[in-house]
Chain A
Amino acid sequence: MAVDTKGTEYWRWTESRYTAPGLDWKDAGVISGGVDVGSVSTQAVVMLDGKLYCYSNMRTGSDSPDSANRSMEWALEGTGLTLDKIQATVGTGYGRVNVPFATKAITEIACHARGGNFIYGPTVRTVLDIGGQDCKAIHCDEKGKVSAFLMNDKCAAGTGRGMEVFADLLGVHINDVGELSLQVEKEPPPVSSTCVVFAKSEASGLLRQGWPKEKVLAAYCSAMAHRIVSLLERIGVEKEFAITGGIAKNIGIVKRLSQELGIEPLKTDQDTQTAGAIGAALFARALYLKEMKKK
């Protein structure tokens, strides 16, 4: 567990890139790209005929067009594939209008539903996506088409940033917060403040009272899970239920969510943060094929 008092950035989660083994872009029919520029993270995905080929997942800089370029560059690194060979790209996310090489921008809601459907399969009907600065609850059909959605991007409570604030406060690395929050014998009462700023003051008070880090984390994760559930209940949770975005990697939240909902979310080995970009790449392919049919 990484705990350091020398100004370590506890919120700095691991950036990554990936190339699928056994695929060659030279054999592909349609090469499509998807870039999800979020307020906290950016992902670039390339698909070959709708199959995942390569991707990157990195922190969004303060400059959107640059984030899009850098993330795509990194995704393509080592593949020999160049941007000009990608036939269509769709941009999504908060910075979607700032993907200079995208042919179209599509709302992240639609992209997350499509991406969730790709990652978890056609049985998914409810996708919960918690990004860096937002929380989305999406209902979709077996093809990943949206039938209802609700998005909250106004308030930090229940978002990745809220979790980052706590990781920083407690000096616990963001990768470890989930596990640590489960190391309590008995689940403490949740923090009473719904606002992250006030919850942070409350947590400082609890620490001064002698609460160990894991107990404070458990109290915060509990409050965060309650909040997410109350948002989800606005549109209801229909099985199968799946989680995308960074928070799916936080076992402390995932476990508490499934306990409160009484529903186990579907599991995956794939990087849940890429769902939006995957959906975008699938849309890019669909739009390209539609264009080709017209000609």
Chain B
Amino acid sequence: MITAGIDCGAKNVRAVILKDGAVVGQALLPAGMDAKATAAQAYDQALAAAGLARDAVTCVVATGTGKDEVTFKNDVVTEVGANARGAVHLFPEARTVVDVGAEEGRAIRVDANGKVVDFAINEKCAAGAGAFTEAMARALEVPLEELGPLSLQSTKAIPMNAQCAVFAESEVVSLIHAKTSKPDMARAIHDAISDRITSMVRRVGLEEKIALIGGVAKNVGFVKSLEDDLKSKVLIPEDPQFVGALGAALVAADA
């Protein structure tokens, strides 16, 4: 059976084609102005990668903030549901799933079947999501992909007072003025967002193993800060940004 999952995030749209439980094609495109069009494009791109046509797909499930923009969907599933299903599929031992995307951070506790037990979302605040690291990278004049590796060179932990991405940007400017090293500031940025994410995880209760998904999982500096705060290692999939779409495709196969 062939199913598809479309995850329409705030920043990126992802599509996953699943054939008998295995991923045969996937695509990621920046959401841009027209989410409807991008969703269709991502879907067709993933199909092309799988060498399949639209009519080969039995069921399409959409998830993400823009799920209603997916015109060709058969059903929807919540982001929390999709993340849980996808993460447990990849890591059967995962009981806590932490998703840090561009605009939302989530902590989800799951059972062995990938069913959601409890969850906490930090939404509508850039400080609890990837938008924070993006804004900080700009303030530091460092490309986003380099922020992680840069922070690993830090020799000193500095607390950040600001709990808002806009105020943190001003704080970074002051720190630069006080000649703080870039690695130390990069680390402070990761520590700050990790502190918020960890508090959220503790709210739903921390149960091993912990899976980390979402775009920010690719940031090695954030991962280090998070593992230090959680006092535990986290499991990260090869493609942390596709877990939602994968979960949606799995839900489509369950139906």
Task: Count B-side interface residues using an 8 Å CB cutoff.
Answer: 17
Residues of A within 8 A of B166 (CB): 156, 161-162, 165, 196-197
Where the two chains meet, the residues of B that have a C-beta atom closer than 8 Å to any C-beta of A are 33, 103, 124-126, 131, 135, 163-167, 170, 173-174, 177-178
Closest 10 interchain pairs by CB?
A: A156-B166, A197-B126, A62-B177, A62-B174, A154-B163, A197-B165, A156-B164, A197-B131, A196-B166, A195-B126
Decide if A62 touches B33 in the complex (CB within 8 Å): no
Q: Shortest distance in angstroms between B12's beta carbon and chain A's nearest beta carbon?
A: 14
CA distance A165 to B138 in the complex (A): 14
For B124, list chain A residues within 8 Å (CB): 193-195, 198
Given contacts A156-B164, A197-B135, A198-B124, 7 further A-B contacts (CB under 8 A): A156-B165, A161-B166, A162-B166, A165-B166, A196-B165, A196-B166, A198-B131
Instruction: Give, as a whole number of angstroms, the nearest-CB distance from A20 to chain B.
Output: 33
- Note all chain A residues with C-beta closer than 8 A to B135: 197
Residue numbers in B under 8 Å from A63 (CB-CB): 177
The CA-CA distance from A154 to B170 in the complex, in Å, is 13
Name 15 A/B residue pairs within 8 A (Cβ), A-sorted: A39-B167, A62-B174, A133-B170, A156-B164, A161-B166, A161-B170, A162-B166, A195-B125, A196-B126, A196-B165, A197-B131, A197-B135, A198-B103, A198-B126, A208-B33
Q: Given A161-B170, A205-B33 in contact, is the A154-B164 Cβ separation under 8 Å?
A: yes
Q: Which residues of B contact A196 (CB under 8 A)?
A: 126, 165-166
How far is A194 from B124 in the complex, measured between Cα atoms in Å?
A: 7
- A122, B170: Cα distance in complex, Å: 37
In the assembled complex, the Cα of A195 lies from the Cα of B131 at a distance in Å of 11
Interface secondary structure of A, over-half rule: loop
What is the interface of chain B mostly: helix, strand, loop, or mixed?
Answer: helix
Interface residues as binary, A127-159 with B (CB distance below 8 Å gives 1, 0 otherwise):
000000100000000000000000000111000
CA distance A162 to B167 in the complex (A): 9
Q: Which residues of A contact B (CB under 8 A)?
A: 39, 62-63, 133, 154-156, 161-162, 165, 193-198, 205, 208
Q: Please, how many angstroms separate the alpha-carbon atoms of A73 and B234 in the complex?
A: 55
Give the CA-CA distance A278 to B162 in the complex, in Å. 27
Task: State the CA gap A194–B178 with chains docked (Å).
Answer: 32
Nearest residue, chain B, Cβ from A192: B124
A62 and B173 contact, CB distance less than 8 A: yes
Residue in chain B with minimal CB distance to A193: B124
Taken together as a complex, chains A and B put the C-alpha atoms of A208 and B34 apart, in Å, by 12
B126 touches A161 (CB 8 A): no
Residues of A within 8 A of B131 (CB): 197-198
The answer to whether B125 and A155 have CB atoms under 8 Å apart is yes
Chain A proximity of B192: nearest CB distance (Å):
13
**Which residues of A sit under 8 angstroms from B177, Cβ to Cβ?**
62-63
The CA of A15 and the CA of B27, in the complex, are separated in Å by 52
B126 partner residues in chain A, CB cutoff 8 A: 195-198
Q: Which residues of chain B come closer than 8 Å to A208, judged between CB atoms?
A: 33
C-alpha spacing A117/B177, complex, angstroms: 37
Chain B min CB distance to A245 (Å): 16
CB nearest to A204 among chain B residues: B33
Report Cα–Cα, A135/B206, bound state, in Å. Answer: 35
Interface centre among B33, B125, B164, B177 (most CB of A within 10 A): B164
A127–B170 CA distance with the chains assembled, in angstroms: 27
Specify the chain A residue showing the minimal Cβ separation from B178: A62
Report the nearest A residue to B134, measured CB to CB: A197
- Rounded to whole angstroms, the CA-CA distance of A62 and B179 in the bound complex is 11
Contacts of B103 in A (CB 8 A): 198
Q: Name the A residues within 8 Å of B164 (CB-CB).
A: 154-156
